[in-house]
Amino acid sequence: MGPSAGGNSGDAPIPPPREILPGHPGDAGDRLFEPEMLTLRLNDKAPAKYGRQCCGGEVALLLEPLPVPATVAIFGAGNIGLELTRILARHEIDLHVTDSRPEHLGELDRLEPPVAELSRHFAVVGEEVLTSLPPGSHVFIMTHDHAEDLHLCQAALSRGDLGTIGLIGSSAKWQRFRKALIADGHAPEVVDTISCPIGLPALTGKHPATIALSVAADLLSRLR
């Protein structure tokens, strides 16, 4: 990124793009920003906030928001993890799938060519992948081993900069995990940033495809 020019034509284009960025003071939260043109007159009679220019003519600038794709990480490529990958791979996101079992990662080859930027990671301990994710990433923990799930929850909470953390399991599993995480030194309010069970409360079921659909719908509603 660099300046568009000097003087007024260099400084005047800065505030409008800031208004486009999510999270600025005037952001309504759910607005969809469209590209817009900004035209500046380069003469000493034109109104100017950042100094006058006298080279003559006009300069037209295109202001266009270029959103960064969300990063989603799935830890565990079992039945539900595979179905969740199948759904999310059809969306423009940066998708990471991690498992300690090569044969389960191999099942990803059977999916349709992804729209997402799909990365697969073979890792005996998924913590290395988790710590390398960019801030704001959305993490789903659904491995085949409760001890591994707990370890990943601890690592996720220790980061403190993830977008969301979802743990698959029942309310009973969550109560055990919550107690263990608090005993490990995490504050209760921090532990409660983990969602468990995951998915839309109104869309329930026991079939892996149904669970994955519910989880994906909940996530995508947050990413709109």
Query: Domain limits at 129?
Result: 71-223
Mean pLDDT, residues 12-22 taken together: 58
Write the pLDDT tens digit of every residue in 130-146: 999 999 999 999 999 99
- Identify whether residues 118 and 195 lie together within a single domain: yes
CB 165 within 8 A of CB 195: yes
Show the tokens assigned to 149. 């799930």
Residue 92 lies in a domain: yes
**Which pLDDT score, from 0 to 100, does residue 34 have?**
73
- Identify whether residues 138 and 157 lie together within a single domain: yes
Domain end among 66, 89, 124: 66
The region of weakest confidence among 3-12, 119-128, 198-207 is: 3-12
Residue 5 lies in a domain: no
Residue 97 lies in a domain: yes
- Identify whether residues 118 and 48 lie together within a single domain: no
Residue 18 lies in a domain: no
Residue 131 lies in a domain: yes
Alpha-helical segments (H) within 6-45: 7-11, 15-20
* Distance, CA of 153 to CA of 192 (rounded, Å): 11
Give every CB contact of residue 140 below 8 A, 6+ residues apart in sequence. Answer: 72, 73, 74, 75, 76, 81, 84, 166, 167, 168, 198, 215
Domain end among 15, 45, 66: 66
Residue 25 lies in a domain: no
Domain end among 49, 66, 83: 66
Write the pLDDT tens digit of every residue in 25-80: 444 444 556 777 877 776 655 455 544 555 556 778 787 777 789 999 999 999 99
**Which pLDDT score, from 0 to 100, does residue 224 have?**
77
Mean pLDDT, residues 178-189 taken together: 98
Where in 149-205 does DSSP place strands (E)? 164-167, 194-195
Where in the chain does DSSP place strands (E)? 36-41, 58-63, 71-75, 94-99, 117-122, 138-141, 164-167, 194-195
* Distance, CA of 87 to CA of 181 (rounded, Å): 31
Domain count, the chain: 2
- Identify whether residues 58 and 118 lie together within a single domain: no
- Identify whether residues 107 and 216 lie together within a single domain: yes
**Which pLDDT score, from 0 to 100, does residue 66 have?**
77
* Distance, CA of 40 to CA of 14 (rounded, Å): 13
Residue 6 lies in a domain: no
Mean pLDDT, residues 3-32 taken together: 53
Measured in degrees and rounded to the nearest 5, phi and psi for residue 153 equal -60, -45
- Identify whether residues 166 and 211 lie together within a single domain: yes
- Identify whether residues 50 and 115 lie together within a single domain: no
Mean pLDDT, residues 148-176 taken together: 97
Residue 14 lies in a domain: no
- Identify whether residues 45 and 85 lie together within a single domain: no
Percent of the chain with pLDDT over 70: 78
Mean pLDDT, residues 18-23 taken together: 59
The more confident residue out of 161 and 36 is 161
Q: Is residue 59 classed exposed, middle or buried when 0-12, 13-18 and 19+ CB atoms within 10 A define those classes? A: middle
The closest alpha carbon to 220, from 95, 77, 99, 119, belongs to 95
Give every CB contact of residue 1 below 8 A, 6+ residues apart in sequence. Answer: none
**Which pLDDT score, from 0 to 100, does residue 68 have?**
85
- Three-class SS of residue 121? strand
- Identify whether residues 90 and 184 lie together within a single domain: yes
Mean pLDDT, residues 138-157 taken together: 97
- Identify whether residues 102 and 160 lie together within a single domain: yes
**Which pLDDT score, from 0 to 100, does residue 39 have?**
77
CATH assignment at residue 136: 3.40.50.720
**Which pLDDT score, from 0 to 100, does residue 46 have?**
45
Please give the mean pLDDT across all residues of the chain.
Answer: 85
